[in-house]
């Protein structure tokens, strides 16, 4: 990176900054017609003048960030951080946050809100994750929200069901952006689901065959545990942060896995600072059978491990008992009773094993468009309401 200050009065410095702050800084500097380096300089100088630097900022998932500061300023900044007992990353985050708050958008537009992030997951296959993810996204789009459906499963069932081709290997994709190899704007990959019921509010980021290699690809980016949150768990967030400002809700259809890809999805669905409880989190489809309970306990253990390792708030938005048929006897009825008895997470809906969903898949149409008055469609709306913020 060549210095934009050839007279040598500035020096390149490297630190870390959360993706959310970096994106907001980029947009705000452009709105104000300022050079980003000048904005960061003003932010650091103003922060140093404060008695104690201000409130702590959530720096989980902070990634490498380089800029140019006046010669000597970074050394002074690091000294101030040491005196205040904060990391350089925390000091820079506080500086940028304060500058953003002191320099609002000239358009008068409200600050960018965080989209609600619904992670639909279960390590057991065949429980209806894809149907629930698609139905919930359609319900939000139907009520007026702009929604992004992310087909995070390399099997690509969600893309196929909506009549969208998967992205071939070697092409720009969600996986390439997660691995820092993206060559274009992620927005260019997003497809509008052209159905009049949703009025161009429902969008899909298609699956890619490279997703089968995702765990291996992002695993090699970290060599010790201290870098896990930056290089592995935050990989999905680093990719999707580019498009978050465009959507009200992002729904992620996860693969049946307990690997690194699932860690990244759970991390993405964590509650961020200043985000209300229950806005984002996990929706877990299950079946009324014993093996589904075992799979749920494994996923819950993974969530609790992440919570403990990184001090995260990951909210359980609820369970969805799918493909339920009481005619299957005591196993089904007693299992349903057990799911309801858990209490937290609560059961958001019980979806019967009915024909409309299968017919919609065969027709490559959204369920809420194909059969908007069906019991299954109403169950999807019930889930969306129950998992709302």
Instruction: State the DSSP string of 120-142.
Output: E--SSTTS-HHHHHHHHHHHHHH
pLDDT for the residue numbered 8: 53
Residue 4 has pLDDT above 80, yes or no: no
Residue 325, SS3 per DSSP = coil
Which tokens in the block code for residue 324?
């339920």
Distance CA(213)–CA(208), nearest Å, equals: 10
Confidence of residue 252 (pLDDT cuts 50, 70, 90): very high
pLDDT for the residue numbered 223: 43
What confidence tens digit (pLDDT) does each residue in 190-237 have?
999 999 999 999 999 999 887 667 766 666 654 443 444 446 888 899
Distance CA(389)–CA(387), nearest Å, equals: 7
Which tokens in the block code for residue 382?
């019930």
Q: Please give the residue that has the higher pLDDT: either 170 or 8.
A: 170
Confidence of residue 89 (pLDDT cuts 50, 70, 90): very high
Could you tell me what percent of the chain has a pLDDT over 70?
90
Burial of 95 (C-beta count, 10 Å sphere; 0-12/13-18/19+): buried
Q: Cα-flanking dihedrals φ and ψ of residue 6, to 5°?
A: -65, -15
pLDDT for the residue numbered 229: 42
CA distances (Å), origin 288, targets 132, 160, 177, 258, 340 = 16, 27, 37, 21, 11
Distance CA(383)–CA(321), nearest Å, equals: 11
Distance CA(171)–CA(267), nearest Å, equals: 26
Q: Please give the residue that has the higher pLDDT: either 100 or 213.
A: 100
Which tokens in the block code for residue 310?
């990184």
Average pLDDT, the chain: 87
Sheet hosting strand 191-192, strand order edge to edge: 191-192, 202-205, 147-151, 249-253, 116-120, 281-286, 316-324, 347-352
Distance CA(11)–CA(67), nearest Å, equals: 8
Q: What is the mean pLDDT of residues 104-128?
A: 81
Give me the residue label for tokens 């008895």: 341
DSSP 237-255: HHHHTTTGGG-SEEEEE--
Burial of 226 (C-beta count, 10 Å sphere; 0-12/13-18/19+): exposed
Least confident of 47-56, 76-85, 121-130, 374-383: 47-56
pLDDT for the residue numbered 195: 94
Q: Cα-flanking dihedrals φ and ψ of residue 379, to 5°?
A: -65, -40
Residue 264 has pLDDT above 90, yes or no: yes
Q: What is the mean pLDDT of residues 293-321?
A: 93
Distance CA(333)–CA(50), nearest Å, equals: 62
What confidence tens digit (pLDDT) does each residue in 311-349 have?
899 999 999 999 888 888 888 899 899 999 998 899 999
The answer to whether the beta carbons of residues 204 and 193 sit under 8 Å apart is yes
Which tokens in the block code for residue 204?
């899909």
Q: Please give the residue that has the higher pLDDT: either 219 or 177.
A: 177
Residue 107 has pLDDT above 80, yes or no: no
**Residue 283's beta-bridge partner residues?**
120, 318
pLDDT for the residue numbered 7: 47
Distance CA(2)–CA(18), nearest Å, equals: 24
Give this prediction's pTM: 0.74
Confidence of residue 56 (pLDDT cuts 50, 70, 90): confident
Give me the residue label for tokens 């509650």: 271
Q: Cα-flanking dihedrals φ and ψ of residue 176, to 5°?
A: -65, -35
Which tokens in the block code for residue 189?
């990959």
CATH 3.90.550.10 assigned to 116-386 = no
């Amino acid at each position: 990176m060549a210095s934009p200050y050839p007279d040598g009065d500035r020096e390149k410095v490297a630190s870390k900054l959360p993706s959310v702050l970096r994106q907001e800084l980029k947009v705000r500097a452009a709105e104000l017609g300022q050079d980003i380096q000048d904005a960061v300089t003003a932010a650091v100088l103003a922060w140093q003048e404060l008695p104690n630097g201000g409130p702590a900022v959530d720096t989980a998932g902070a990634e490498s960030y380089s800029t140019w500061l006046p010669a000597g300023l970074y050394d002074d900044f690091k000294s101030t951080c040491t005196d205040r007992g904060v990391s350089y990353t925390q000091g820079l985050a506080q500086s940028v946050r304060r500058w953003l708050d002191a320099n609002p958008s000239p358009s008068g537009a409200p600050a960018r809100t965080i989209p609600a992030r619904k992670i639909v997951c279960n390590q057991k296959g065949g429980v209806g994750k894809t149907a629930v993810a698609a139905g919930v996204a359609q319900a939000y789009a139907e009520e007026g929200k702009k929604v992004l459906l992310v087909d995070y499963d390399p099997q690509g069932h969600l893309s196929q069901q909506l009549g969208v081709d998967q992205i071939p290997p070697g092409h720009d994709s969600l996986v390439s952006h997660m691995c820092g190899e993206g060559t274009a704007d992620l927005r260019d990959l997003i497809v509008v689901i052209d159905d009049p019921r949703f009025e161009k509010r429902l969008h899909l980021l298609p699956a890619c065959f490279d997703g089968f290699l995702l765990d291996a690809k992002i695993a090699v980016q970290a060599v010790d545990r201290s870098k896990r949150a930056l290089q592995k768990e935050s990989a999905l967030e680093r990719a999707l942060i580019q498009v978050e400002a465009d959507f009200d809700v992002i729904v992620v259809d996860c693969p049946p896995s307990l690997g690194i890809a699932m860690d990244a999805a759970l991390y993405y669905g964590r509650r961020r600072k200043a985000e209300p409880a229950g806005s984002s989190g996990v929706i877990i489809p299950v079946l009324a059978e014993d093996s589904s309970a075992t799979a749920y306990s494994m996923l819950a253990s993974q969530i609790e491990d992440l919570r403990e390792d990184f001090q995260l708030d990951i909210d359980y938005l609820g369970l969805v008992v799918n493909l339920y048929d009481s005619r299957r006897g005591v196993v089904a009825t007693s299992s349903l009773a057990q799911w309801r008895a858990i209490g937290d997470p609560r059961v958001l809906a019980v979806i019967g094993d009915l024909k409309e969903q299968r017919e919609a898949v065969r027709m490559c149409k959204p369920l809420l468009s194909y059969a908007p008055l069906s019991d299954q469609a109403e169950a999807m709306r019930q889930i969306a309401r129950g998992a709302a913020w």
